Amino acid sequence: MPDIKVVPLGAGQDVGRSCILVTIGGKNIMLDCGMHMGYNDERRFPDFSYITRAGRLTQHLDCVIISHFHLDHCGALPYFSEMVGYDGPIYMTHPTKAICPILLEDYRKITVERKGETNFFTSQMIKDCMKKVVTVNLHQTVKVDDELEIKAYYAGHVLGAAMFHIKVGTESLVYTGDYNMTPDRHLGAAWIDKCRPDVLITESTYATTIRDSKRCRERDFLKKVHESMDKGGKVLIPVFALGRAQELCILLETYWDRMNLKAPIYFSTGLTEKANHYYKLFVTWTNQKIKNTFVQRNMFDFKHIKPFDRSFIDNPGPMVVFATPGMLHAGLSLQIFKKWAADEKNMVVIPGYCVAGTVGHKVLSGQKKIELDKKSIIDVKLSVQYMSFSAHADAKGIMQLIRQAEPKNVVLVHGEAGKMDFLKQQIEKEFGIGCFKPANGETVCMETIPTIAVDMSLALLKRKVMSLEKKDAKRAKLSPHNNHLPVQGVLVIKDTSVRLVEPAQAMKELGLTEHKLRFTSSVILETTVPYHVFIEKLQSQLERLLPNYPVQRVAEGCLSVDDSVLIKISPSSDDVTHEASSCTALVSWTLQEEELGSHVLSLLRDRIIRPVVSLDESSV
């Protein structure tokens, strides 16, 4: 039996360093190639030696697919392609290809120029890596080779994020990457058609969370920021350059306008301009409201939000600052946090998930003294607020996607092991399908049932549908069950075409004469009435018990049911005018009508008149 193998090199029972190896129909595919924000050593990248310990990886992989531009999904890409060695195709959407190199370069600068690391990819390597990228449009089927094809679906989450449907022959798999089933102020909701894949690999970041109303969360966020401004405090909002940053900027911009607030709002220098540029360029990826108003007013041209300069950190008075990165693990957001953490009037609002090991995670877990290295310890006195504006699907959203796609198996990645256990139980209970949560380096094998596409003749389909309209109890088992409808016919294979046709049509095409096979069984029935009366009574009883089938007398002493099952009644004595103590009924039917024939025979045995002697069966 063929199977699909899934092994996470990253994001197995963990968030960060997404990298999933999949083997489907003899093809090897890498899904995402991210870095882990909680590590600064070799653990930050996936262990590519799992694929091969020597030589380049091109011959071992058919393609690489990147779901979106977040570094935990693409941060290891230049290291993988240029330093480890991979020359094959890398697939991603147009916005992902445009934004990826900017974030990779930003990541490289922080790691190499500020932290002084040496074994790291260069700016040139980022450029060389991006030359290997093949872009895909939404709903466009891309043929990687003669057998492997991929198709992208809208995932919400961030600009350009996509879910990928991967197909090899009759086997298929969907990889979600990160997605959001709820539309927000600048992006639409994720969507996929009922593709019924063999395997659905889904993120499970918020596996146990069902988020409250977004409107309530927004109101709470604005109230807390406003209160902090009134107290003269400073508010730090650590964000990633694109995504939640734009969502919260639109929210604050609207609120500042409405309340006529004067406190300055700042955004990391350079990133606002770049973000605006890409949102203008890829406006078709935003939600309907932004698309509709784009010509009159660009939602991303902010009136109240200005570029931030590092010299503003020590400015007196209230202010709101959006700074990158989002988990306080490096860069400007960490620098500002170190300066502002000791003042109780200040506040940090963490709007999304923080990976274990980052400063953001430590702050959220309530640590009051955070050791960055042996020389610096942060004394945390400022107010810490966690408000989930995360663009990940919650438990309800994950269940909704499973309902939408109807997979045969589910694999959970990009989540915490304990939370995955809860979601796994819910999926198995509600959908009755296999659900797996492999750890990094652990292989999951899922058997697939091969399916063959067959063209069916219209005559055969019509006959099948008409038979389903008949309500006879014995035929009930032919009714549709689990989206499957059993059909009998002759399978004709010629060259590459496979057809299911009526037997008569197949005989005609092949120039064969039909050989008819009939089954006959006899049953002896007791009677106390004359022979001709007995036949009339038998006919009326059969008509009552089989209301959906015509019962006719076709010859002397002979009845037919549905023109296919014949019943020949013979008296036990030669004199048909007198009462007979018993009659012999011969029931005959073709192979095609075996169910109806068997049913009629059982009626004669059990429901009309009990046999007085054991029945004698024979096949002709």
The catalytic residue positions are 203
Name the burial class of residue 123, with classes exposed (0-12), middle (13-18) and buried (19+) by CB atoms within 10 angstroms of its CB.
Answer: middle
Tokens for 419, please give them. Answer: 């939370």
- Dihedral-angle region of residue 110 (phi above 0 means left; psi in -120 to 50 means alpha; beta otherwise): alpha
Task: Find the Cα–Cα–Cα–Cα dihedral 176, 177, 183, 189, rounded to 10°.
Answer: -30
Cα distance between residue 278 and residue 347, in whole Å: 30
- What one-letter code names the amino acid at 448? T
Q: Residue 73: beta bridge partners? A: none
The arrangement of strands across the sheet holding 347-350 comes to 305-308, 265-268, 319-323, 234-238, 347-350, 383-386
Count of residues making up the chain: 620
Q: Which residues contact 374 (CB under 8 A, 6 or more apart)?
A: none
Instruction: Find where tokens 């002709």 sit.
Output: 620
What does each C-alpha distance from 532 to 537, 556, 609, 610 come to in angstroms? Answer: 9, 9, 16, 19
Q: Is residue 499 within 8 Å of 454, Cβ to Cβ?
A: yes
Q: Is residue 69 within 8 Å of 103, Cβ to Cβ?
A: yes
Q: Which residues contact 43 (CB under 8 A, 6 or more apart)?
A: 36
Q: Which residues contact 116 (CB under 8 A, 6 or more apart)?
A: none
Q: Is residue 277 within 8 Å of 242, Cβ to Cβ?
A: no
Instruction: Find where tokens 């995402």 sit.
Output: 32
Tokens for 270, please give them. Answer: 């350079």
3-state secondary structure of 246: helix
Cα distance between residue 44 and residue 49, in whole Å: 14
Tokens for 561, please give them. Answer: 């049911």
Q: Is residue 399 within 8 Å of 165, Cβ to Cβ?
A: no
Tabulate helix, strand, coil % of the chain (nearest 5). Answer: 35, 25, 40
Rg (C-alpha) for the chain, rounded Å, is 35
* Sign of the alpha-carbon torsion through 94, 95, 98, 104: negative
